Each structure stands twice: as C-alpha cells, then as structure tokens.
Amino acid sequence: MELTINGQTHQVDIEPDTPLLWVLRDELGMTGTKYGCGLAQCGACTVLVHGQATRSCVTPVETVAGAKIMTIEAIETDPVGQKVVEAWVAQQVPQCGYCQSGQVMAATALLKQSARPTDEEIAGAMVNLCRCGTYNAIAAAVREAAQA
C-alpha cells in the first residue's frame, strides 16, 4: 500500500484494516501521534487527512491510501500549523503534553476551515480531551493563532 504522509511517499506491507495510528507509530516510527483510548473518544491520535482532523486510531489504513496525510512531525511546514505552534508556545499550553499533538492538529484543521472562529466555533471544534485541563489555554492559543 502506498501512503502519502507529510509530502513523502511510503510503501507499507500491512493488513488493510490496520489502524492508521499503528502504521504511523509502529511501521514508520512517527511517534508524535499518540495513543490514548483507541475508541475515537479522546483525540490524542488526531492527524490531518486532506486537511480534516481525523482520529487515526479508528481509521483503517486502506481508507487513506492515496490521501494527503499530515502528522505533527510536519505541522510547522504548514503555514497555518506554524502559527498554531507559535501560539501554543506563546501561551505555554502544554502541561504533561500527552494530548497536545492531537490538540495542535485539531486547532490547525479548525483554522484551515475558519480563519476567524468565534468562541462557540472554537468550543465546538476543540473537543479533544486533556487530563491536565488545559482547555482555557487551548482556547486562548487558538484565538491568538487566528489573530496572527
């Protein structure tokens, strides 16, 4: 199977129903994308597929063959993603950090769809879980990235 990840083509020999998350982490060594629940509940595994926030733990790899996949490893090559990371640093969002790659991917997807989101849109889109409770800082960073 051929996958396009972060602008590079990868050939993987894998069962077609393998979750994309395991291909990224175990086959390709891209461990920035995290495993949290494995049930599409927490968002730790969020990547972009054609710019859309996608929970890779429940995405069979065969469904994204030929798609444009982006992971946290390349997020700063994306102009919107770069602004998001800068805002994340400025707002000092992470605590333990475990959920944060998924949060950054979700924020990037939101700002690609809506450059100036309202507080309601931010609340509606930023639904990934954070056990450390960084939600206020996440919202502040999304607003800062939007202004940038």
Residues that bind ligand FES (CB under 6 A): 35-38, 40-45, 55, 57, 94-100, 130-132, 134
Contact 109, 51 (CB under 8 A): yes
Cβ closest to ligand FES, residue 90 vs residue 96: 96
Residue 116 CB, shortest distance to ligand FES, in Å, is 25
CB of 128 to ligand FES, least distance (A): 8
Which residue has tokens 């950090």? 97
* Alpha-carbon distances of 3 from 49, 62, 81, 130, 144, rounded to whole Å: 11, 9, 21, 30, 33
In the complex with ligand FES, which residue's Cβ is closer, 81 or 94? 94
Pick left, alpha or beta for residue 75 (phi over 0 → left; psi -120 to 50 → alpha; otherwise beta): alpha
Select 43 or 117, whichever has its Cβ closest to ligand FES.
43
Residue 37 beta carbon to ligand FES: minimum distance, rounded to whole angstroms? 4
